[in-house]
A and B are shown apart, each in its own frame.
Chain A
Amino acid sequence: MTDFLDTWAKENDEHARLIAEERLITEVTEALWDTMQQAGISKSELASRLGKSKGHISQLFSGSRNMTLRTLAEICSALDCVPSFSVSARCAGKRLKRLRSH
């Protein structure tokens, strides 16, 4: 089952690409926020560690400003953590199931 937003995503490649971008931004920012909360670090504190304004950090977290890989590395360094990254096929599970059924 799916909803109207999923239908929108499947309408064309442009929509699918936009969702892929927003999905990654959401996942990265949520993970960073979680790390900040666990470490008790506020936006202002992160901003001062990076030498940026609080507004700059807010824009990164809202997705209105593009976060480059360099910025991500800087944030992780400021939070004293290491990002982990992997790329996998979206339907790997389904493919495996199909292979097993054969």
Chain B
Amino acid sequence: LVSISARLRYAERTLHRNRPAQQGVDKSLYKDKLFMVEYRGRQLVIRYCEQLLAGSDPRRVPPSWNEAIHHVPAGKRNRLVAQMAARREYLANHGLLRVPDHWNTEGALPDGKQFYALKAGPLRAYGWYSSRYKGVFFVSHFAFKRGQKIAREDASRVIRNWRTQEEDRP
């Protein structure tokens, strides 16, 4: 009996050791796939261009966000993440922002419409209202803004992403 119970305890320990490892991988991948998709508000769906790239690791946040937030001093980081989250929530619920410190018209798209910046301190989420998908606001990418005007590479990147989402997709 002693031997059987020892074997059972061993088997149980082995099972216990193996279980979290197997479940851990599957669960986190599944969970992270969900949170990368989009944010739905009462008026708009905020969709991220970066997450739509096939083959990217579903556990990662948009790479441009990681890059932009890296430039923010550690002490200010959480406040700015919260600002960005609150403002994109407002955008999704109300369809637009008005305060120039929260929102800015940044430039023209190839179809003559405008693209915008959602602002949180020096952080920007550049995007546009989709003509192709009703009620969708695409976030092209995030950036840490240094100068007064939008960087040329940021404007080009928005237009590239706009073409992919609004023109190229079948």
Contacts and interface: CB of A to CB of B under 8 A. Distances in A.
Contacts, number: 85
A91 B139 CA distance: 28
Interface string A17-46: 011011101110110011001000000000
A: interface residue count bin: 20 to 34
B132 interface: no
Interface stretch (B7-15, B36-44, B148-156): B36-44
A74 interface: no
B158 interface: no
Interface string B44-82: 001010000000000001100100000000000011011
Given A26-B102, A34-B98, A62-B101, A2 B84 contact: no
A6 B85 contact: yes
B108 interface: no
Nearest to A43: B100
A5 B39 contact: yes
Nearest to A5: B85
Interface string B12-44: 000000000000000000000011111110000
Contacts of A84: none
B143 to A, nearest CB: 16
Contact of B99 (A1, A21, A33): A33
Interface residues of B, number: 32
B36 A4 contact: yes
Interface of A: 1-9, 14-15, 18-19, 21-23, 25-27, 29-30, 33-34, 37, 58, 61-64
Given A21-B82, A29-B101, 13 more contacts: A2-B34, A2-B37, A3-B38, A3-B48, A4-B35, A4-B61, A5-B84, A6-B35, A26-B86, A26-B87, A26-B90, A26-B102, A63-B101
7 contacts: A3-B39, A4-B36, A5-B84, A25-B86, A29-B102, A30-B90, A63-B101
